[in-house]
């Protein structure tokens, strides 16, 4: 498929995420900005989030998530998607949970991270062939942070990017479609955290990032502190006008996100002054690319 064929099609962006709420903490302002500009934006959510713990003290005693966490998170995801102005699909897998302890316990039978790659990737290949995105965004090899579902989400995104355009692969999942660009999200960019940390300190405010920055090179065994990404930032999307939409979408995931917590430590205004971008690394491109980029669709318009 040639670049000229792509440029005549409506622009479409597909973001592949492990759990409901990941889309709101990684790249949400970018998605809201593109959606507002008329790009078709879709999130593929790999798992149901059923093994997530309640992270927000305000809903600790709520009946619905205690009885049916997957159902509660489905409602949260619907609300977040409406706030961002995007569409969303469930790929149909069961949350693997985050194993904790030493040694780590085995993952639950049948969970997403234990699926054979072709079985895990088939629903995403089907979705790519149906939705026909030019751009796919997902996590790096470490999953952004090393949760087993994040690592599997990375693997299925890379597999779908490679396979969806090959009519001989994944028969029965629709006509081949070859996406043009694959990006890894750099939500955990150390440069961003450093900039926000120093801005808070200069303003005389307490920074929640000091410990994270100190621990960055010593990622703990249970994967709570992401190591710095190995892929350089190639692309910065100026999306500061959509930071409030991102924050509202995050708050919609009320079982997972404490509205008084880490994500909201820096005001949207301060973030716009200090780091008004979301950062990405272009990993593969089937159209010519020149760095640095300011647009995920550079070379496609």
Spell out the domain ranges in the chain: 3-188+232-271+278-285
| Eight-class DSSP state of 58 | G
Using DSSP bridges, classify how beta strands 235-238 and 277-285 pair: parallel, antiparallel or unpaired: antiparallel
φ, ψ (nearest 5 deg) of residue 64: -60, -55
Is residue 293 a contact partner of residue 173, using CB atoms and an 8 Å limit? no
> Mind listing the pLDDT tens digit for each residue in 8-22?
679 999 999 999 999
Helix locations, the chain, DSSP H: 3-8, 22-25, 28-36, 63-67, 69-84, 117-131, 148-163, 190-202, 210-215, 243-252, 268-274
**Mean pLDDT of all residues in 20-47:** 98
Q: What is the model's pLDDT at position 211?
A: 80
What whole-number distance in Å separates Cα of residue 198 and Cα of residue 295?
27
What whole-number distance in Å separates Cα of residue 93 and Cα of residue 136?
20
Q: Which of 100, 57, 94 is nearest to 73 (CA)?
A: 94
> Mind listing the pLDDT tens digit for each residue in 261-295?
889 989 999 999 999 999 999 999 999 999 999 99
- Number of continuous H segments (helices) and E segments (strands) in the chain: 11, 7
> Mind listing the pLDDT tens digit for each residue in 82-105?
999 999 999 999 999 999 999 999
The distance between the two most distant Cα atoms of the chain, rounded to a whole number of Å, is: 60
**Mean pLDDT of all residues in 104-116:** 97
Q: For 120-124, 144-148, 213-217, 290-294, which range has the lowest pLDDT when averaged over its residues?
A: 213-217
pLDDT bracket for residue 7 (50, 70, 90): very low
**Mean pLDDT of all residues in 130-150:** 96
Cα 232 from chain centroid?
Answer: 17
Q: What is the model's pLDDT at position 218?
A: 56
* Structural fold of domain 3-188+232-271+278-285: Rossmann fold (3.40.50)
Sheet containing 12-17, strands listed edge to edge, beginning at the edge strand earlier in sequence: 87-93, 40-47, 12-17, 135-138, 181-185, 277-285, 235-238
Q: What is the model's pLDDT at position 219?
A: 52
Reading the block at residue 172, the tokens are: 């029965």
Contacts of 49 (CB under 8 A, 6+ apart): 19, 20, 21, 69, 70, 73, 77, 95, 256
> Mind listing the pLDDT tens digit for each residue in 145-199?
889 999 999 999 999 999 999 999 999 999 999 999 999 999 988 899 999 999 9
Q: What is the model's pLDDT at position 213?
A: 78
> Mind listing the pLDDT tens digit for each residue in 220-263?
445 455 555 689 999 999 999 999 999 999 999 999 999 998 89
């Amino acid at each position: 498929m040639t670049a000229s064929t792509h440029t005549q099609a409506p622009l479409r962006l597909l973001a592949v995420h492990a759990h409901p709420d990941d889309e709101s903490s990684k790249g949400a302002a970018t998605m809201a900005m593109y959606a507002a500009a008329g790009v078709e934006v879709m999130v593929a959510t790999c798992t149901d989030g059923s093994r997530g713990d309640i992270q927000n003290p305000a809903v600790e005693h709520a009946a619905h998530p205690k009885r049916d966490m997957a159902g509660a998170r489905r409602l949260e995801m619907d609300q977040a998607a409406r706030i961002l102005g995007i569409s969303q699909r469930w790929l149909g897998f069961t949350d693997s949970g985050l194993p904790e302890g030493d040694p780590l316990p085995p993952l639950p039978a049948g969970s997403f991270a234990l699926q054979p790659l072709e079985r895990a990737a088939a629903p995403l290949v089907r979705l790519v062939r149906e939705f026909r995105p030019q751009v796919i965004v997902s996590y790096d090899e470490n999953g952004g942070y090393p949760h087993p579902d994040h690592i599997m989400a990375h693997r299925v995104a890379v597999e779908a990017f490679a396979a969806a355009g090959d009519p001989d692969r994944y028969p029965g999942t629709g006509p081949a479609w070859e996406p043009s660009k694959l990006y890894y999200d750099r939500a955990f960019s150390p440069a961003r955290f450093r900039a926000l940390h120093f801005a808070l300190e200069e303003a005389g405010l307490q920074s929640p990032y000091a410990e994270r920055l100190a621990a960055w090179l010593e990622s703990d065994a249970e994967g709570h502190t992401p190591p710095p990404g190995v892929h350089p930032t190639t692309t910065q999307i100026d999306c500061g006008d959509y930071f409030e939409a991102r924050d509202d979408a995050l708050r919609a995931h009320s079982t997972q996100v404490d509205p008084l917590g880490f994500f909201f430590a820096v005001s949207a205004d301060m973030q716009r002054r200090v780091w008004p971008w979301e950062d990405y690394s272009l990993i593969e491109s089937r159209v010519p690319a020149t760095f640095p980029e300011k647009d995920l669709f550079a070379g496609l318009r």
